[in-house]
């Protein structure tokens, strides 16, 4: 005959007792993992903010350079038109 209801319960209880320390260990490892990931994300967000500031600085410099080139070319056109082109 097969095992009785009480034997299955005892077997299940024994398996639970064997697995419980491993579950606790995994919970601890998971907590450590969460803390480490949180710190990594903080570092990533800090670096992204630094990159964003750097990109804004580069963008503003490029805008100023573009304006300077436009003004230079406009001045050149005005100078050439007022001087007259010899024929």
Token output for 32: 């450590």
Give the model's pLDDT for residue 8. 62
Kindly report, residue by residue over 7-27, the tens digit of the pLDDT.
Answer: 667 888 888 888 999 999 999
Contact 3, 11 (CB under 8 A): yes
Give the model's pLDDT for residue 11. 81
Give the model's pLDDT for residue 15. 86
Averaged in consecutive runs of 10 residues, what is the pLDDT profile of the chain (87 residues)? 61 85 94 96 97 97 98 94 75
Give the model's pLDDT for residue 28. 95
Cβ-proximal residues to 3 (8 Å cutoff; 6+ apart), any chain: 11
């Amino acid at each position: 005959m097969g095992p009785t209801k009480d034997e299955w319960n005892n077997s299940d209880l024994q398996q639970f007792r064997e697995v419980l320390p491993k579950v606790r260990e995994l919970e601890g490892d998971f907590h450590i993992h969460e803390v480490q990931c949180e710190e990594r994300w903080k570092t990533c967000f800090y670096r992204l903010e630094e990159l964003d500031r750097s990109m804004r600085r580069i963008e503003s410099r490029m805008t100023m350079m573009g304006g300077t080139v436009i003004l230079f070319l406009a001045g050149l056109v005005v100078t050439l038109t007022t001087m007259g082109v010899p024929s």
